[in-house]
Amino acid sequence: MREPSGTRTGYHHGDLENALVAAATELAREGGPEAVVLREAARRVGVSPTAAYRHFANQADLLHAVKAKGQRRLARTMAGLAEGLGAQGGPRERFYRLGQGYVRFAVEEPGLYRTAFCHVSVAPLQGSREGGGDMSSAFDLLVGVLDELESAGVLRPGLREGAEFAAWSAVHGLAMLILDGSLAVLPEPALEQAIDRTLRMVITGLTVD
């Protein structure tokens, strides 16, 4: 059976895999990880499922790629807010901005955020360009700023070990309460206050004056 013309164009440009990931990312944005279906991504790109299976072994393989993309976008959002401080911002301010970026991404991209943290039981194909997680990018931002706090002498003694897990848990829990819990019903001013209070309490608990 002849593939649609879109398939030939994708192969000609060597970009069918990226096109499928882009289509699947939009599916995730619309409906979370459950919406990432290989056949639907193929339909949106304009190719047959057979063509899509040449790049992704199964739905889980494609979901791995979208999950990694979501994690990279999360890290870019966090880093973008922190970099906006410029040279004048200290580690406390950068920590705050990283937390803001984390929650902002969750609120603005709930489907992709959920996909970035979804569990995928099947490992990606060996050598896949998009496969696997890239959590280290966002996690490394947190580790880095905690190291900065310690180097600046403002991190409370004895708290460095495991601090990234405690901080991550607090901010992730806040994000999930906003998306799926009781904080979802808060009006905008109260929600902003809840985000601010949570981030400042985490910083206060970790640092000394």
pLDDT tens track for 140-160: 999 999 999 999 999 999 999
The pTM (predicted TM-score) of the whole model is 0.85
- How far is it, in rounded angstroms, from Cα 130 to Cα 117? 16
Instruction: Using the predicted structure, report yes or no on whether residue 173 has a pLDDT greater than 90.
Output: yes
Q: What integer pLDDT is reported at residue 136 of this predicted model?
A: 65
**Within 13 Å of residue 42, how many CA atoms lie on the same side as its CB?**
19
Q: What integer pLDDT is reported at residue 123 of this predicted model?
A: 58
Task: Give the tokens for residue 80.
Answer: 């973008």
Share of residues in the chain with pLDDT > 70 (%): 86
Kindly provide the residue ranges of all beta strands, DSSP E only, lying in the chain, ordered along the sequence.
none
pLDDT band at 135 (very low <50, low <70, confident <90, very high): low
Q: What integer pLDDT is reported at residue 142 of this predicted model?
A: 96
Domains plus CATH for the chain? Answer: 14-119+134-206 (1.10.357.10)
- Environment class of residue 172 by beta-carbon count within 10 Å: exposed (0-12), middle (13-18) or buried (19+)? middle
